[in-house]
Structure 1
């Protein structure tokens, strides 16, 4: 799941649901093996994740996308073409808008699901700090 998560990032809800169902079944089986009792039907996924000290697959995908973007910006990944597609947001001095990356509106489905847009979306959703001040 962690390897090339940006390439395997699901586009549609049905693609999200297949790995999540497998993950849920695995967590229920793990609960059965550890406790000897199979969890009841309809148990929330969050309680299973907390019980086994895990994070959801979607959260792991988002973190991996944001990490890849940080590596790209800090030149740990050398890909000038992808870097050229990233738009930086330069806010006004007294702006409350804190997004680091500018995401232009998408007119096509291909651009809406492009890797550079996905990375910027994940980063803006997860990280609020200034990445240029945190990496020395």
Structure 2
């Protein structure tokens, strides 16, 4: 892990404004030395995962941001819903359904970790 920027975590409200709060938290927490170059992509993916949590999951929703040194950024979004999300094909005129496809396409790696209180969806972005 990064010696310059410690990993940080926050709990988000189950509210439509949670994605905005998550982006603000991410901007304040991101490692300027190693991960600033991936901030735009990280903001998009965090918005998608937190938005999924608000729409489809159960509280609490937590966001953890960690710098992995010069290799990049690790993000974990946890919620109380045990069912794992996955990429799906959205209709051309659909207003949703593309979040996990974006995570799959943009991130360097991602996955889902089930646990007793729900699940954690994580992704990494290389700097």
Same fold (TM over 0.5): no
TM-score, normalized by length of structure 1? 0.32
Higher helix share: 1
TM-score normalised according to structure 2 size: 0.33
Larger radius of gyration: 1
